Amino acid sequence: MNSYITNFIPHDVNPILQKETIKWLKAYHAHDFDELFDRYSVSSEMIHSRVSYASGVNNFTPKSDDLYRIGHAQPYMEHRAGEAQRTIQNIFDELYSDEKDFQIDRLNHISCSHYQSPSAAQIKVASFPKESKTIVNHLYHMGCYAALPALRNSQAMIADGAQRVDNVHTELCSFHLDRDDISPEQIIMRTLFADGAIKYSCVSEDHFKQHKLSGFKLLTLKEEIVPETEKEMTWKLSRFGFAMTLSKKVPLYLAKKIEAFVEELIQGAQLEQVPREELGFAIHPGGPKIVELIQKVLKLSDGQVKHSLDMLYHRGNMSSATLPHIWNTYLKDTKAPRYIVTVAFGPGLTITGGILEKCSA
């Protein structure tokens, strides 16, 4: 049974400038470590702007109710968690503000940066009309690649009879901003990761045609874990919140695996006859070097990776919310290729991918 991806609704908020964030981090440390920040921060040439839902970031004249304030100690976990939960509940309210029929069979909430019980998804569904029969599922703590398991989960629900499955990504990386840690690794992380949220639907073929929708047909999905790499990338609790570790070996593992992985994806979608230069690529931009590496290994043109690099430049790495934002840019691009190869990576090391076909009913 075919599944389709449609109705993308990004949660749009004003981004903050990367160069101002770096200045703000320097100011917090009274400019004692400017050389470190200059050396290890992701430059504004690679990331121009990002979104931060945490209040106070980039605010040089802080308000008393800002979460992060220059000249003040780090906010407690309880304070950050409370504001994060309120933020996500507001995001759900805004994403569903125009909903009219509430004929949503399943709602998947995807996040690796904040979750609690009851979740914002459960609280939102509890406010739906009584006739709504929406069931909530949680896909948590997978990291940057989670959009593809969300598609696999949705595809299974469609095969089981669901007509509409909503996926809502909410990533609040800024709430784990540990300004006191000035290790090179954490400076990179703090100037790479961003916040972001987006909603989209996976629907049955009948639903897609009945409502005359445009979107993507899901052709194939694939996932594998690279053996003996479990320590190369982690996302786990620290004294302050969630913290990531990332080995310099990760690009080497990806370089060895990605070509065969993509070829198997193409075979799975039965697209062997399509010239490689006619394929679009939605690559999760874990960082500028990741996209550049994949472009080099797969011999892709600049145009084939443009949407991925543009998203990194304008929004940073929004963890699991990034790929759906890139898919949406492909959908809106009238000159985009018909077939989109999409890949992402995360702890495990896990490599995930899929192929989407642009279409309309």
What's residue 84's pLDDT? 92
pTM: 0.95
pLDDT value, residue 242 = 76
Work out the number of other CB atoms within 10 angstroms of the CB of residue 163: 18
Angle at 301 between CA 298 and CA 307, to 5 degrees: 100
The CATH superfamily of 214-360 is Thiolase/Chalcone synthase (3.40.47.10)
Locate tokens 């003040």: which residue? 72
What phi-psi label fits residue 7: left (phi over 0), alpha (psi between -120 and 50 degrees) or beta? Answer: left
Tell me what pLDDT residue 85 has.
94
Give the whole-number percent of the chain exceeding pLDDT 70. 100
DSSP H or E segment with residue 6: strand 3-10
* Inter-residue contact 91 to 119 (CB < 8 Å): no
Q: Do domains 3-210 and 214-360 have the same CATH topology?
A: yes
Domain ranges within the chain, ordered by starting residue = 3-210, 214-360
pLDDT at site 185: 85
pLDDT band at 305 (very low <50, low <70, confident <90, very high): very high
Tell me the pLDDT tens digit for each residue of 48-85: 999 999 988 888 887 877 888 877 777 777 888 899 99
Q: By C-alpha distance, which of 167, 165, 163 is closest to 197?
A: 167
Determine what percent of the chain is predicted with pLDDT higher than 90.
Answer: 71
Question: Distance of CA 265 to CAs 57, 278, 359, Å?
Answer: 41, 15, 19
* pLDDT score of 69: 82
The superfamily (CATH) of domain 3-210 is: Thiolase/Chalcone synthase (3.40.47.10)
Q: Give the residue-averaged pLDDT of 251-256.
A: 86
Look at the block and give the residue holding tokens 């400019």.
Answer: 31
Evaluate the CA torsion angle 273, 278, 282, 288 in order and state its sign: positive
Question: How confident is the model at residue 247, as a pLDDT?
Answer: 77
Give the pLDDT score at 343.
98
pLDDT: which is higher, 23 or 64: 23
Neighbouring CB atoms inside 10 A of 329's CB total 18
Confidence (pLDDT) at 249:
81
